[in-house]
Structure formats: C-alpha cells, structure tokens
Structure 1
Amino acid sequence: MVRPAALLDDPSANAAAMLRRLGFATLFFGIPLAALFTRRALVVLAPVAVILLVLAAALDGGARNVGEKLVAVVISTAGIAGMVLLLWTGLSLIWTPFMPHAAERLFNLVGMALMALAGYLAMPDRMRSANLYILPVGVGLAALTGIAVALRGPEGLDQDGQSLERGMIMLVLLLWPAVTWLHSRGRNLEALLLAIIVALGALLTTDPVSLQGLAVGAVIFAITAASPGFGARLTAWSMAGLLLLAPALPFIVKPLAVSLFGPASPTVASLDAWALVILDEPLRLITGHGLETALRGRFLGLIPPTSPYSFLFEIWYELGLIGAAAGAVLLYSSVIGAGGHRPVLGPGIMAAFATAYALGCFGIGTAQLWWFSALIVVVLDFVAIERGQFRTKRPKAILRRAG
C-alpha cells in the first residue's frame, strides 16, 4: 500500500528548510545588494539571517554536536585570546573618561560576538550547493549595480553619500568567499570575471580604500595559491607583528612618508600626531586610555585632531599593550587555524584576512557596528563554504556488461 505524500511530509522539516533558505538568501544575496543603498542594511539584515538559521537548526536539528563545537571554540587559543581581550576591554571601563558610551560599545561588542557564535553553531553540517551558488550571484549583481550607481551618481543613496563606499567595502570582503566557492567547484573563469567586476566597481568609487584593500588581498591570494604554507604564515605573522610593533611605526615610517608625500602631507601630520601621543604619556602604552577614547578624545581635544583613523592606533591608544598582545594572539591563531582544514579554501581565506586587516589599518572606522556585522557575515560565508566541501566531484557512472 502506497502512503499519501502528505503523510510522509514532515512539517517541521519543511519549515526549517524554508527558514534556512531565507536565511542564506539574506546572507548571500540580500546583504550585498542592500548595503549599497542604506548604511543600516548590515546591522539589520545580519541578525535577521542568523535568527533564521538558528530557528531552522532548532526545528530540524541540522546543526549537530553543538556542545562539542562550542567547547572547541571556547578552549581554542583564539577563543581564550578573544575572551582575554573582551575581559580587558571591560576592565578598561574603570579608567575611561567616557563611561556611558564605552559601556554601550562593550555591550555591542559582546552582542556581536554572541551573534557570530550563534550563527556558527546553527550552520548545518552539510551545505547544499544550490544555497552556496547564491553568494557569487549576489556579489556579482551587487557589483554591477554599484557600477551603475557610481556612473550615474549617488542621488538615490543616503544623504551623506557613504552608503556606496560602505557597500563597495562590503563587496570587496564578500568577493573572497564568493571566489573561493567558485574556485572549489572548478569555475575559475567565473571567479576571475567576478573579481574583475568587483575591482571595477571599487575603482569607480570616490574613496580609494576599498580598492587598496582589494589589492592587498589579491597579493596574498596569489602568494597563498603558489605556496599555501608560506602564504598562511606570512599573513599570520604580518598581522600579529604589525599590531604588536605599531607604536614604532610613526618613527620608522615617517622618513619614507616625507620622501613620498612631502613634509606637509596629511600622512606625515598623522604620523607626527601619533608620535606626540606616545611621547607625551609613554606609560599609558601599557594600559591604554580606556575604551571609546580614541574617537571621542579627538573631538574633545584630548588627542590631536590629525591623529590617524587606524585600527593599529586605536587599539593601542584605548587598550594598550595588554589589549594589543591579546589581539595579536587572536589574529595569529585564527589565521593559522583557518588555513589548514581545506587547502582549496586557503587562498581565499588568507585574502579575506588580509583585505579586512588592510581596511582596518587604512582607517575605515572599525569601531562601528556595521564593520563588525560585515566581518561576521564574511566568517559565516566561509563556514558555509567549508561545510559545502563534503563532495567535490560527481560520482562516475560505471557500465558493466550483463551476463
């Protein structure tokens, strides 16, 4: 007796599949497009996507061994360094002069960390290729849209004109998981075409930061593709080393900056301001001045207005040596740990690390919520791509003679 199909359907499984598809559509397709037109798209859509994935996992149990994965993250070197960094950031509230604003920022940081962890734990153990192909389609369509908007002018965007630049920064970051997925499926021509489209969009924007970050990522991608081990070590040591040695940069780089840009250039002025901050209070290099002081202190005259808008300056000024050391360990262990699981994914992962780090060094406002949301989206994209590598080739049909 054949049972009716309606009796074989599992309503909860069907609902979970629908929620998961909506979550990935939001993550892979909605966010790249919406980020071009509104500054709040990332902050709103990223939590929505994670919530949809969590609901889907709760309905069908697609995410297995959640407890083991959680313990593995917490006890890893990167997890311990991240908790130390958050703890030190919380302690810095004691001596920051902007306690209410710093507490709000710390609350947002903890919320972002929990959201990233929830999205990671809710990711299914195996990803369908149909869901993952949405990513390069979304990035490509968003890049073409960004090119059209850049050519016509940003009249339809936010009044401050920053949405297009932020959208292109988001596309530069999302390019690497999209290229990685296409490369892992042997679609290298499509990956190259997608990279060209995104690079053209970044070239047409008024802010050169996105193109500069893309260039750094492309160099690391090429190096890692040629030598995976060397590329991963180079990325890890460069990121951690620059962060640890950042206070020496204004003294080392200034002669080169003077010769390249001239003594009256903004770059030289920012290096002079950084050196002045270090020489005025050298002991504060150990503890820092507390959370939220780099941004607000600039407007209240606590630091020179020409001080650099850079991740390297901000973490040292706010959290000092302890925060910088914890951040360096976090970066090094994350890069080394991410590069060894799937060799085919290594070049794209290293390029994403390098691009995000370069953008932070070039000063795009890494303390803002949209930046943390962007990083979470990129991390979840790579986790999904890694879960989609369980089969890289279709099984071949074998014909046998009868008899």
Structure 2
Amino acid sequence: MIRSVSQTANPSADAAAMLRRLGFAILFFAVPLAALFTRRALVVMAPLAVILLVLASVLDGGARHAWDKLTALAASPGGVAGLVLLFWAGLSLVWTPFLPQASERLLNIIGMALMGLGGYLAIPERMRSANLYLLPVGVGLAALIAISLTITGGSHFDPEGLSLERGMLMLVLLLWPAIAWLHSRGRNLEAIGLALAVAICSLLTRDGLPLYGLAAGAVVFVVTAWNPVFGSRLIGFVMAGLLLFAPVLPFILKPVAASLLGANSPTTLGLEVWRRIILDEPLRLLTGHGLETALRGRFFGLVPPSAPSTLLFEIWYELGLVGAAAGSVLLYQAVVGAKSHRATVAPGIMAAFACAFTLGCLGIGTAQVWWFTALVVLVLIFVAIERGQFRTKRPKAALRRTV
C-alpha cells in the first residue's frame, strides 16, 4: 500500500499567515468599529496592525526588493515633492514661535510616513480575497452601529459624541475602498447597500462634514466611472489648483459669501480675516509663519479666533509658497499616479481622494495625529485592494480523458 507523502510543515509560514490575518483583521474590521467608541482607537490600532504585517513579511520573506521599491518611490516626482515638503516643514522650525509643539508635530508626521512605508512594503504582492472581504463587513457593521448610536444619542463610553463624529468621518473615508473592492468582485448590490447605510448614518449626524465628504466622493465616483482618465486628471487639477492658488480665494469668495450668508456669518468673517492677513504680511506668503502656528497662534493672539480652520489656509499660513507648491505637486502626482489596472477600482480611489480633500478644506483637524493616521490607513487599504486584483475570474476545471 502506497501512502501519500505529507508536505513538510513550515512553522514560520504558518506564524506569518496568522500574524498577517490578525493584522488585516485589525486594519479592515476592528478599526472602523472601535473608532465609533474611542477617539484613540485609530492611533493605537493602526500601528499595531502595521507591526503585525511587518513581522509576517519578515517571517516568510514577503517583502522582496524593498530597497528598489523605496528608491523608485523617492525618485518619482511625487516622492521628490514629498521630501521637499518634509524638508521645508523641518526648516520652518527655525522661525516658528512654538518650537516644542512644532517639533512634536513634525515627529508625528515622520512617524506616520514611516508607518505607511512599512505597511506598503509588508503588504504581500497577492492579497487573499478572504482578508479583503473583512473591509466591507467591518464598514457595514460599523454603519449599522452608527445608525443605532445616532438614534439613541450615543454610548456611555462617549457621552459628548466626539468619538462618534470622528468615527463617522473615518467611516466615510473607508466606504470608498470597501465599494471599490465589492465593485471589482461584481457585488454591486452589496456595494449599493453599503453606500446607503453610510449615507443614512451621515444624514443622522449633527455635523454636516461626513455628508459633504460623502457627496463629493459620490460625484467624483460617477465622473471617474464614466471616464477614468478625465476623472483622475480633473480631480488632480482641482486639488492642486485650489492648494496652489488658495490666497486668491478670500478675495473672490468674500463678496459672494457676504451676499449669500450675510456679512456677520462665520464664513464671511473667516474670509475677511484671511484677506487681512495676506494684505498685512505679503512677504510671509513666501516663507509662512512656521509649523504649528495656525493652531497654536489662536490661543496666544497671533491668529484671530475667526480665522479659517481649513487645510488651504493652514498650509499657506504655516509653510508659505514653498510648502504650498510642493504640496500641490504631491497631490497631483498622487492622484494621477494612483492608477489601477482594473477600471472597477479607479473610481473608488478618486472618490476617496475627493472625500479626504473636501473634509480637509471644510475644517477637519488636519494637524491632528488621528487624521494623518486615517490617511495612511486609507492608502494601505487601497494598496491591498490593488494587489488583490490578480485574478479576473475563477478558473474552470479541465477534464482530461484517462486511458
């Protein structure tokens, strides 16, 4: 009697598979759920998930050609723009009035960038579908929980509702990679149901930011689905153009806001403050006031309290023309370069860009660590989805005649 030869057990590969599965479960499933209940969940769980993925890649040797990937990324136009932006932010520590706080913020940004690079290198070249299906399940369950929390008035862990609002913003961001994955698998009904669930809980929230971000992403999703090349270039030009020519906006939008919203509305007053800052200190448009001044300056009288809380104002006020130019190049190259070889994934990527940029322009706390972490998580999820597109359809079984 001939016995089949069993394969040699590989403890390292088994341990790597377990760690990778746990890391993706935290990143795809646990993060959207925990973000609804505690504000620190994302900052704690995302690095933990990346560490597990890095350990898994070390155990099974999944991170191949890491140096070549890093070199190609740094030598790309977007990589060069990112390095210039990071260098200029570090140089602005020389003239910022808040050196300790600005140094801490810069270290946080560097830490988030390193975490993103580690996760990018640790994600395997071919992702298992079982791991990626955790994302829409986690987003869908989080959306149902968010609906119940908004109806009942929140949880005992979050009496003021701050974690719920932050969790809703995270949920709106993660909706687009979840839809992209379901759409790429042909599960369009599930994708529509998931979008409706997130839209309902966005309508029920007190703050309108999640709904605005969702609306912007939906418009870009439709445009990119109609024409992927036109959609990607359009969103790239719009984002880069708004950032580069942001100082012109208060002069154009202030009369419009005054006529539509009134002269004493917060939006009109914020645009007037921005216009005065530009006219009073035109030379500061070149260098900026230094990192962390847009936020800390409000508490020390350097910046009027009614100044805009938006990404466009903060970049120009802190880093000036050099930072804004480098940031606009980085945005455009990131959007145009984020192409997928599957047309079903591209609309979700562009919608996520539009959603995140809209939230940043409408006053989300872009200087906070959790927002940087959320963007890193979003990028890593899309990288994983892109690497899960290697199979287009299930192979058919071949029947052979035996003699």
TM-score interval for Structure 1 and Structure 2 normalised by the shorter chain: over 0.9
How big is each residue's C-alpha offset from its partner over 1:181-239, in whole Å with a ceiling of 9 and x where there is no partner? 00000111110110010111111111110110110000000000001111001000000
User: Against the structure 1 CA distance between its residues 172 and 386, is the aligned structure 2 distance closer, same or farther, given a 3 Å change threshold?
Assistant: same
Task: Tell me the secondary structure at the aligned position of residue 298 of structure 2.
Answer: helix
CA change 1:160–1:94 in 2 (3 A) is farther
Q: What is the match of residue 382 of structure 1? A: 382
Unaligned runs of 5+ in 1: none
Deviation of 1:256 after TM superposition, in Å, equals 1.7
What is the match of residue 82 of structure 2? 82
Question: How much does 1:158 deviate?
Answer: 2.8
Give the Cα–Cα distance (whole angstroms) in 1 for the partners of residues 3 and 52 of structure 2. 35
Aligned twin of 1:218 = 218
Deviations along 1:35-63, one digit per CA (max 9) or x if unpaired, are 00000001000000000000000000123
Give the Cα separation in 1 of the matches to 2:161 and 2:296: 23
Equivalent in the alignment of 2:19: 19
Identify which range, 94-103 or 65-74, moves more after superposition: 65-74
**Aligned-residue offset at 1:8:** 1.8
In structure 2, stretches of 5+ residues that fail to align are: none
Alignment correspondent of 2:68: 68
CA distance, structure 1, for counterparts of residue 200 and residue 130 of structure 2: 27
Query: Per-residue deviation at 1:402?
Result: 7.4
Change (3 A) 1:106 1:317: same
Alignment of 1:246-257 (within 5 A): 246-257=246-257
In the alignment, is the contact (CA less than 8 A) between 2:46 and 2:377 conserved in 1?
A: yes
Q: Does 1:176 align with 2:176?
A: yes
Contact 1:64 1:125 in 2 (8 A): no
| TM superposition shift of 1:396 | 2.3
User: 1:47-91 deviations in whole A, cap 9, x for unaligned?
Assistant: 000000000000001232212211111111111110000000000
Question: Quick one: distance in 2 between partners of 1:203 and 1:51?
Answer: 36
For the residues of structure 2 that align with 1:372 and 1:224, how far apart are their CA atoms? 25
- Does the alignment pair 1:29 with 2:29? yes
Contact 1:43 1:373 in 2 (8 A): yes
Measured after TM superposition, the shift of residue 276 of structure 1 is 1.1
Distance in 2 (alpha carbons) for counterparts of 1:169 and 1:2: 57
- Equivalent residues in 2 for 1:303-318, closer than 5 Å: 303-318=303-318
Match of 1:128 in 2: 128
Shift of 1:356: 0.3
Residues 173 and 378 of structure 2 are in contact (CA less than 8 Å); yes or no, is this contact kept in structure 1?
yes
Indicate if the aligned counterparts of 1:339 and 1:350 stay in contact, CA closer than 8 A: no
Question: What is the TM-score normalised by the length of structure 2?
Answer: 0.97
Distance 1:142 1:205 in 2: 14
CA contact (8 A) 2:340 2:386 kept: no
**1:299 maps to 2:281:** no
- Distance in structure 1 (CA, Å) of the matches to 2:5 and 2:400: 36
For the 8 Å contact 1:39–1:158, the answer to whether it is kept is: no
The answer for the alignment partner of 1:152 in structure 2 is: 152
Counterpart for residue 44 of structure 2: 44
Report the CA distance between 1:340 and its aligned residue: 4.9
**Secondary structure, counterpart of 1:186 in structure 2:** coil
Who is 1:280 aligned against?
Answer: 280
- Provide the secondary structure at the position in 1 that maps to 2:385: helix
How far does the alpha carbon of each residue in 1:134-186 deviate from its partner, in whole angstroms, 9 at most, with x for none? 00000000010011101001242334421001000000000000000000001
Q: Considering only aligned residues, what root-mean-square deviation do their CA atoms show, in Å?
A: 1.4
Indicate the residue corresponding to 1:237 in structure 2: 237
Q: Which residue of 2 aligns with 1:209?
A: 209
Q: Cα distance, 1:32 vs. partner?
A: 0.2
Superposition pairs of residues 106-145 of structure 1, within 5 angstroms: 106-145=106-145
Query: Which amino acid is 1:26 matched to?
Result: I
Return closer, same or farther for 1:142/1:203 CA change in 2, 3 Å cut-off.
same
| Partners of 2:48 and 2:13 in 1: CA distance | 20
Q: Give how far 1:344 is off.
A: 2.2
State the one-letter code of the partner of 1:331: L
Contact 1:216 1:358 in 2 (8 A): yes
Amino acid at match of 2:361: C
Q: In the aligned structure 2, how far is the partner of 1:402 from the partner of 1:17?
A: 37
Structure 1's consecutive aligned runs of 4 or more residues displaced over 6 angstroms after TM superposition are: 400-403
Q: Does the 8 A contact of 2:16 with 2:60 survive in 1?
A: yes
Instruction: Specify the alignment match of 2:8 in structure 1.
Output: 8
